[in-house]
Amino acid sequence: GDPAEQGLVKKYGVSRAPMPLAIALAPNGAITAISPRTIDATKINDAFVTPAGAASLKALQEQKIVFVAVHTGSQLNEPQAIAAFADDPHFRERMGVVAINASDVREKDFLKDLAIDASPSSPASLVVLAPPGVMVGKFSASATKAEIAAAIAEAGKCCDDPTCNHNK
């Protein structure tokens, strides 16, 4: 009810939320946790996310399809499918790309959440997530745009247009 706080209330859409309310934000602005009424140590601990986890959450909260490219070498060779999606006007503005080196110890928990093998011998992979946090699928780095687009459509996350070519 404080007029000075109305900007925050509006920004986070919490005018009707139970109070008190705690919202945890990553440095990039991604909401990592919302806890109405009470907050405990587990909720606080769970609010901390990895850099790639925060980037993925931010993109999902912006209603984007997220392509998480996991590589094991020192340099990412971006999967060809990502470039193909970026060239497609249907997806270009609705996609986010997050790259993770599997040996980055900061990303251990996020890779575990994605059920990705982070061993040095594992091949590069691509994980596709869609809003609000649906795992569309895990793919090899050589997966084609057509394979991934079919999985996105099958998950019902392509778009809201029933005549969309990708929904067929």
Measure the CA–CA gap between 79 and 67, rounded to whole angstroms: 10
**Are 71 and 99 spatial neighbours (Cβ–Cβ below 8 Å)?**
yes
What pLDDT score was predicted for residue 69? 94
pLDDT tens, position by position, 5-58: 899 889 888 889 888 889 999 999 999 999 998 888 888 998 999 999 999 999
What pLDDT score was predicted for residue 156? 80
What pLDDT score was predicted for residue 149? 92
Enumerate residues 6+ apart whose C-beta is below 8 A from 8.
14
**Are 26 and 58 spatial neighbours (Cβ–Cβ below 8 Å)?**
yes
Q: Please give the order of strands across the beta sheet that includes 134-140.
A: 95-101, 65-71, 125-130, 134-140
∠ CA 59-8-31, nearest 5°, is 30
Exposure on the CB side of residue 156, measured as CA atoms within 13 A = 3
**pLDDT band of 150, cuts 50, 70, 90:** very high
Name the phi and psi angles at 119, rounded to 5: -70, 150
What pLDDT score was predicted for residue 165? 62
What pLDDT score was predicted for residue 166? 57
Residue range 124-153: mean pLDDT, rounded: 93
What pLDDT score was predicted for residue 37? 87
pLDDT tens, position by position, 65-123: 999 999 887 666 788 999 999 999 989 899 999 999 998 999 999 999 999 988 877 88
What pLDDT score was predicted for residue 117? 84
More confident position, 157 or 113: 113
Alpha-helical (H) ranges within the chain are: 6-12, 41-47, 51-61, 80-87, 108-113, 145-154
pTM: 0.87
Enumerate residues 6+ apart whose C-beta is below 8 A from 153.
164, 166, 167, 168
